[in-house]
Amino acid sequence: EVQLVESGGGLVQPGGSLKLSCAASGFIFSGSTIHWVRQASGKGLEWLGRIRTKANTYATTHAETVKGRFTIFRDDSKSTAYLQMNSLKSEDTAVYYCTREFLAHDSWGQGTLVTVSS
């Protein structure tokens, strides 16, 4: 069974940093592109970025709204992807999901809540 489990969310002050993890199981993680998507409370889904596989040079793309502040990376030996978030703002408060790209965003984690507040 494909499973993605996000962790690392919590309360952080504006300007602070946080690193989210996405632990994968049930499929060949190293062969899969991983995305990060977020959803503020009562709002829609926002695509944040993707990281491709080693075969594709671990290429990353980040949405313009978070470019320069957020960085996606991965450790295939741990079957885990990460989202490093710096210079956090109140508007970054949201549930953060990782997804697997197979056909589309075919598998999603349960999400982890990030709250940016003083």
Partner 1 sequence: QSALTQPRSVSGSPGQSVTISCTGTSTDVGGYNYVSWYQQHPGKAPKLMIYAVTERPSGVPDRFSGSKSGNTASLTISGLQAEDEADYYCCSFAGSDTDVFGTGTEVTVL
| 55 is a site residue for partner 1 (CB under 8 A) | no
How far apart are the C-alpha atoms of 74 and 54, rounded to whole Å? 10
Hey, is 118 helix, strand or coil?
Answer: coil
Q: Compute the least distance from the CB of residue 75 to partner 1, in Å.
A: 21
| 63 is a site residue for partner 1 (CB under 8 A) | yes
| 27 is a site residue for partner 1 (CB under 8 A) | no
Angle at Cα 19 formed by Cα 101 and Cα 67, nearest 5°? Answer: 65
Nearest to 86 by CA among 28, 2, 19, 22: 19
Q: Compute the least distance from the CB of residue 87 to partner 1, in Å.
A: 21
Q: Compute the least distance from the CB of residue 18 to partner 1, in Å.
A: 20
Question: How do 80-85 and 60-62 pair as beta strands?
Answer: unpaired
How far apart are the C-alpha atoms of 86 and 66, rounded to whole Å? 9
Q: Compute the least distance from the CB of residue 52 to partner 1, in Å.
A: 8
Residues 96-115 that bind partner 1 (CB under 8 A): 97, 103-106, 108-111
- Local structure of residue 88 (DSSP, 8 states): -
| 24 is a site residue for partner 1 (CB under 8 A) | no
Instruction: Return residues touching partner 1 (CB under 8 A).
Output: 35, 37, 44-47, 50, 59, 61, 63-64, 97, 103-106, 108-111
